[in-house]
Chain A
Amino acid sequence: MALRIAVIVLFAVLTGQLARMQLLEGDAYAQKSRENNLTVKEILPSRGIIVDRKGVPLVENVGVYTATITPVFLPDNDAARYAIYQRLESLIGVPALELQTRVKDAEKGGRADIEILLDKQLTKEQAISLEEATTDMPGVAVSIKPGRSYIAGNAFSQILGYVGPQTAKEYAALKGDGYSLNESIGKLGVEARYESYLRGAKGATAAEQDAQGNLIRALKTRDPLAGNTVKLSIDSELQNYVTDLLADSMADPNYATATKAAAVVMDAKTGQLLALASVPNYDNNIFNQLDTRGAEYNALANDQVGRPLTNQAISSSAPGSTFKIVTAAAGLQEGTITPQTSRDIPSAVLEIKGENGVIYPLVDWKAHGPGIDLTAAIAYSSNIYFFAVACGIPAGSFQPQRGLGKDVESSAVILGYYARAFGFGAPTGLDIGDEEPGLIPSPEWLKRVKAGPEFNPEDREWYYANTCFMGIGQGDVTATPLQIARMTAAVANGGKLLTPRVAQSIVDASGKTIKEFKPEFKTVPVDAANLAAIRAGMRGSVQYGAGKRAAVPGMDIAGKTGTAEFGPQRPDGSYAQHAWFTGFYPFDDPQYVVTVYFDLGVGGDKAAPTASKIFAWMQKNYTP
């Protein structure tokens, strides 16, 4: 009967397929079955923390709680699903309709078994109440990711940076180092620079799992290795004190209120920074709370006046008279002046017959009188004295004097050489941040930047005045507060141009120091005697000169003020001014450098008193 044949044929077909799968390809399927069951899960290490020079923690590791939905585990019934969405809305505030859309999209896209991460940070209370509620909400779970909390306050934001998820570009670069995509990495600041120390080493567990991803049996576990601690040279108390002080000192009843300020406190012998303050600042926890603080972040990013996201301590502006230290060093070292070189400055204006018979008025801030030597010129911050050192006084004018070189161009080149030797025009090599290099102009530079057809030929000319203004830190010269501090340290310590650092050492989990950052320096090509002459002038400045408001009773402080004009000339003929003060103490054996900068203000009246308070704080807490 045909039916018998049908039975045999149909079962033969089944047997054939079965034999192929089980007997011929059985091993391959057995391998697939093992792979199905085996899972290797990475265990992220806890990230190393960051402490200040006294061991005070500046960051904390915290759990970041978020909710997840896995569509396959949700009930089939639409009403039951919607009830879950509504419950979630009331618990964590994500709209039910949004949840419904996201689940539907995931299901349509064939990702029903992949958990949907609701990018909303939950408070601990929310996480706990959600965790309790998940028993009635199949498919909903609480996920905990390692996160970072910055506990030291806004004063540390610029230094520390933050930790965040990798961008696609970062991942492409990092995956060679064994990073997985879900690992957060340091962004900006210490978090980014010392990532390799802070990261630690990932652990892993190999385990058998079921179809829902539940672990059945752990097979092998490699424990993660916690990251190392980065110990900063920053003193958190000082950092906070200086930051608050800057913020409080910005207002000025007699002059414009500053919009930005920075201060640096540096160890003059090692280059370690005890404070690196920038105002205004921000809370760097914001980067991981953008979902709730987006408007706040946008306000920060769009603030073009205060530019709070920019670190002012490594942003450049005209250094003004603080730069006279470089001009003095150049003159002394080149032998065009001696400490005894003296000028009479009977008037605040000295008229010079320049090229082609042009008359230049060289303007000082006051008539300093007769017999001004280098010490007095530094102490009182004479412009005319340093014009003369830099660009010389041509024959035929009052008290002719040779400049640094044989002509104004070579004078500028020689001054530029010393400026670079003191670290200007290039990043200092600070271990964090995006430093501006600042600018040291030169005739060659001027030709280059004004090469375009939109400039007139005379725009490319380097004139007498260019060298003169360069000599007092004006014109096109710009420098960062950190560069000024570093120069000051080099003068103070006898010629070591130190590389500034915020990190002091790396300490492992057991408390053992595994790496100490040794001071690094270049030697400034200026004789010790010449630097001593400059120091004497700086001491005079604080004792009786332009910087005397920086003085602190009982402290032997030396310093230099700077008031740099910038921007367009105003209708009354004046310019906006930056206020600077840079100094060190104690005079005999310099230990610490303090540099203060306000974007608007007068050096002696605004920056010097602020520096004075910092010196006083230092005396109280750091008497050498």
Chain B
Amino acid sequence: MPAGHAQGIAFHEEHRSSVACLVELDATDPANPRVTKAVVAADVGLPVNPRGLEAQLMGAVMDGISVTLQAGLHIDQGAVREGSYADFHYARQRHSPPAFEVHLMPPTGDPGGAGELGVPAAAAAVANAYARATGTSPRSFPINF
């Protein structure tokens, strides 16, 4: 990878399903990192609706990008300070990876869960990529908050 870019990977299991995520991150501007590619592989036992499962994993990657890099809430005297999407920085199109792949493993048995299966793997993959790209070890998230 070029200077300031890095790959990150992570793996997660829950609800009798398994998922792995790889992202490529451009952190040449550490205050404004961009995930440029994401690849997700999932084994959910039996994909009942493969296109829907792909979509769910795609959304999970966007959640992982958001919560790791930029979208958080401040609790101020017991109340959430953020009041709208103007200050709760959930990912927009400009934060989404222009390259995205999903690989669904062949059926192995009963269906497992896939509701938010991809979120922990995606979040950790983004954090690992950021750490590697910047030479830092972020311990507080979102990183740019």
Are both chains from one complex? Answer: no
Residues of B within 8 A of A (CB): none
